[in-house]
A and B are shown apart, each in its own frame.
Chain A
């Protein structure tokens, strides 16, 4: 069992937790992920590491309550325990040879983008961050990004906060204005990453994307997380989760991500009803 040592609500649907898992905290690096199970009947879900404190032995996770499992997790409080927590899995984000980077985060993906931005910042790189949200109430981690970015741009779809528009607009603008990025790192919804890649490709700027497909074990055993990268089958859990964005077949990944859409909708409704009953 793994103890929740801290819990903070970042916005109405996004929660941050610190989990006491000293073995994982000792090894975790930006770009890697963990797999957790909330209780004995729970599914195994992957979450990318949002931070770690090696001294305290804790790992930070940030998640959006989108399905039954994340709802169940969100219902836990500081001091409660979760059943299983394993990691760190996957390969850390590559940083070698990069002097100037643009980090593009979308929605809850910003939680994963943050430790990557922090890592580049610590290494002395020039870090530009562009983070996008649907509206003001969903903006998260702005201060944290500010303190590790040389330039921060906040976007909202409806213009209720920061600049109005999509993350690809300032990205293209900055590149056109002569910012010579060695690398662009995009972390967010599949569609956002697809469009970031479409933006950077004409300029030939190497673009890394962080993939988060459906998976079970996270050790290469099930193959459920397979993606087509450069025409070859790759397993996100062991070969990734970072991949060369120019090589990823996004349309296939988007299609595969919807495999259990119907099941997930039903389970979520069941869970909502269960919570409602508990309140009554």
Chain B
């Protein structure tokens, strides 16, 4: 049979339908498509794809099982390396990781590894009876702070080794950025819930409504009997640009906007949490969070949504698939534009006009690309005199986040760098404080789910080594 040069297409909801609902966009491969896609894999001896995976899943091996229709066998191989495959299959930037190394990719499209991972995990979640072999306790207790991807991965690996793990979560729901940040249409919360149920079966205890740094300190965790602590508190602090008008009503950080919609479910009429139903929305930024915010605004009923990004389409840091989906749904990309001010409505005749102080526009300046910066990305250069105003009634700032300082402020002997990131030893996540390990965005600043998971796994291995010495 001749090799199909392209990946098998992912079945999706059509753009005109999905732009008005919060259901998942990508519907997932069927068994037939999955096996056919698996058949494209050349099963290379040197396995270049594995090097591209931050958690080193034995990719050709699980794909071989798929070819043989041994779906649970395939799941077993993935689960040996990844704690959250149904999530990673959906949100990993495969085009820059495993799939970028695929031999097929030299001449054709690479094997759709991410889609196959998702298929295997979803299928497992529908057939699994939930029974697992509970590991024998080794007597050690580990506290994991934060229930995002790094914390969950760390908790999972430690629990499998027999550690008694307690996860502390500040919010009322478990999952960190997976539940407050990434929207339902890209990562259904039911999927997250199922993966977390899986963790609980290993004996992981999860305590919500505990803010470590406020409710309890890291030192008190040790005093109460924990032998080691992992900090995976993420990069929760939203950045603003520092331009005029950012305090106007109708200006959100992407964190606030997405949290209101995802965690607090403001999109459904039952929720008591308010959200602005804007007609024209500008989202500032070009990453995955910006795409998520823009597509969420559209689904809330906006007539026009703009992405405002200071570089060009080529430099957009978002996953390629998210950019394509956003374009298909009708999001307008105003690239090479940089905001200079947000403009508020002001009725000078009537200072009690309820519209006063609400956003009515955003002033941007056009840019061109200059010399590459230290990271090799071409720097945007503003074109003077090119300013113009876009009519909008809502502005969402999605220009990044910095690490949350609550733990740093309450833990005297924990070293952090100038960006607020916790300083750790490369590869182990060991911090300056004895018995304390850290990973994920709390260390690196905003990055990806899979990098955070990788850091959580590395820290779990290091904690295991530390406690057994």
Contact = CB atoms under 8 A, between A and B. Distances in A.
Contacts of B357: 255-256, 258
A68 B272 CA distance: 8
Contacts of A219: 170, 211, 214, 236, 404, 406
Interface residues of A, number: 44
A262 B275 CA distance: 11
Interface stretch (A82-90, A116-124, A183-191): A82-90
A160 B27 CA distance: 67
Nearest to B265: A41
A43 interface: yes
Given A43-B264, A216-B256, A233-B246, A223 B238 contact: yes
A222 B238 contact: yes
Given A256-B247, A259-B276, 11 more contacts: A43-B274, A84-B208, A86-B209, A88-B214, A216-B256, A216-B259, A217-B236, A219-B214, A221-B237, A227-B247, A252-B247
B172 A86 contact: yes
B214 A217 contact: no
A37 B172 contact: yes
Contacts, number: 116
A264 interface: yes
Contacts of B236: 217, 219-221
B39 to A, nearest CB: 45
B406 A84 contact: no
A261 B354 contact: yes
B255 interface: yes
Contacts of A255: 249, 356-357
Interface string B144-165: 0000000000000000000000
B272 A222 contact: no
Contacts of A256: 247, 249, 357
Contacts of B466: none
A224 interface: yes
28 contacts: A41-B271, A43-B264, A43-B271, A43-B272, A43-B273, A44-B273, A86-B170, A87-B214, A88-B214, A88-B215, A219-B170, A219-B211, A221-B180, A221-B236, A221-B259, A223-B238, A223-B240, A223-B255, A224-B252, A233-B246, A233-B247, A255-B357, A256-B249, A259-B276, A261-B354, A263-B274, A267-B272, A267-B274
Pick the most buried of A72, A224, A260: most chain B CB atoms within 10 A of its CB.
A224
Contact of A224 (B208, B210, B237, B256): B256
B346 to A, nearest CB: 11
Given A221-B404, A233-B240, A84 B172 contact: yes
B259 to A, nearest CB: 5
Contacts of B274: 43, 260, 263-264, 267
Ordered nearest first, which 6 A-B pairs have the shortest CB separation?
A: A222-B256, A221-B236, A255-B357, A263-B274, A223-B253, A86-B209
Contacts of A252: 247
Interface string B259-274: 1100111000011111
Nearest to B257: A222
Contacts of B404: 219-221
Contacts of A128: none
B246 A89 contact: no
Interface in A155-214: none
Contacts of A227: 247
B50 interface: no
A212 B27 CA distance: 44
Pick the most buried of B216, B246, B247: most chain A CB atoms within 10 A of its CB.
B247
A52 to B, nearest CB: 13
Contacts of A87: 211, 214-215
A78 interface: no
A74 interface: no
A27 interface: yes
Nearest to B238: A223
A216 B260 contact: yes
Nearest to A264: B274
Contacts of A43: 264, 271-274
A197 B238 CA distance: 30
A214 to B, nearest CB: 9
